[in-house]
Structure 1
Amino acid sequence: MISTSLTRISKGLALFVGFAVCSCQSASELKSEQYFAEGYQLYTTNCANCHQNDGEGMANLYPPINGSSALTNKALLACIIKNGMKDTIVVAGKKFSRPMPANPKLTDLEIAEIVSFLTMKWHSDSTLTPIEEVSKALKECEVN
């Protein structure tokens, strides 16, 4: 009986602390954290097999994302994630020519979350990539 009461008290205390911590953050900070967390999950599922969990790529087969100049161009990242890539690229002085497959099943929101994760993790960007920015980029890369 006493252990049940203590369990309820500790659960209640944990909930209170959780609400207190969350209430200290702005809505935009919470949304950025959500995009980062969702982007991490999507990256792990769709990208990490080739680019690895640490973003360092796989030897001479797949390029690193960490340190890539593509991180400075969110529109380009969105287009590459959605449509894949067939061109030879140079990352950190190394050439990579293995094609990257398209990810046509990813939604604009999912791509925004992946781009947010990538740029927050490996480009010191502290803000999320809005879905509107990704949708606009994807429409433009369809035309080109």
Structure 2
Amino acid sequence: MSLYHYIVPALLGWFCLTACSGDSGKQEQQQGTGPSVPAGLDDATEMKFKQYWTHGRRLYKQHCIGCHQNDGSGLAQLIPPLAGADFLENRERVICIIKHGQQGEVVVNGITYDGVMPASPQLQALDIAEIATYILNAWGNEGGFVSVQQADSILNTCPEKQ
């Protein structure tokens, strides 16, 4: 048998283990990677933040985990990390990229990545607000709450939309 017959099954097994892990979030809470609620939110907004974060985690696992991984680490030099990523400081750009994708170079934490992130035109403003709230507040990130109104407003100004 050729080397191909050993490598492909090993890579597929590794991918399935990382991308298909269906933990319920308990592991994230135990590791301290659950949401860190932003300071200054009133009770109603805090509840909405937690709801968005939880729904965002589910959507992330559906749409993003295959490339960005369960822990937000990305894939070596191919896919940029989301965990601790300085790129997330520009939430407007993040929201536009979730919806419209991106092609070409991007610098994250001083490392240049050159690839394609596919668009997700099926995602609505609420879905994007939830995913953004999740990634901006998972893995030690502290990016705050993104409301559906904010996401909708930002999506109407994305350069990709025009």
CA contact (8 A) 1:75 1:133 kept: no
For residue 30 of structure 1, what is the amino acid of its counterpart?
Answer: M
Structure 1 unaligned regions, length at least 5: 1-24
* Aligned: 1:41 with 2:61: no
RMSD over aligned Cα atoms: 1.4
Alpha-carbon shift at residue 82 of structure 1 (Å):
0.3
Structure index of larger Rg: 1
SS of alignment partner, residue 88 of structure 1? strand
TM-score computed with the length of structure 2 as normaliser: 0.68
- More helix by percentage: 1
Q: Please name the residue that 2:132 is paired with.
A: 115
Q: Please name the residue that 1:9 is paired with.
A: none
* Count of residue pairs the alignment pairs up: 118
TM-score computed with the length of structure 1 as normaliser: 0.77
State which drifts further: 104-113 or 61-70: 61-70
- More strand by percentage: 2
Output the CA distance in 2 between the equivalents of 1:27 and 1:133: 17
CA contact (8 A) 1:72 1:123 kept: no
Q: 1:52-100: per-residue Cα shift (whole Å, max 9, x none)?
A: 0111101111110112222112211110000000020121222211111
- Following superposition, which runs of at least 4 residues in structure 1 exceed 3 angstroms of deviation? none
Q: Please name the residue that 1:133 is paired with.
A: 150
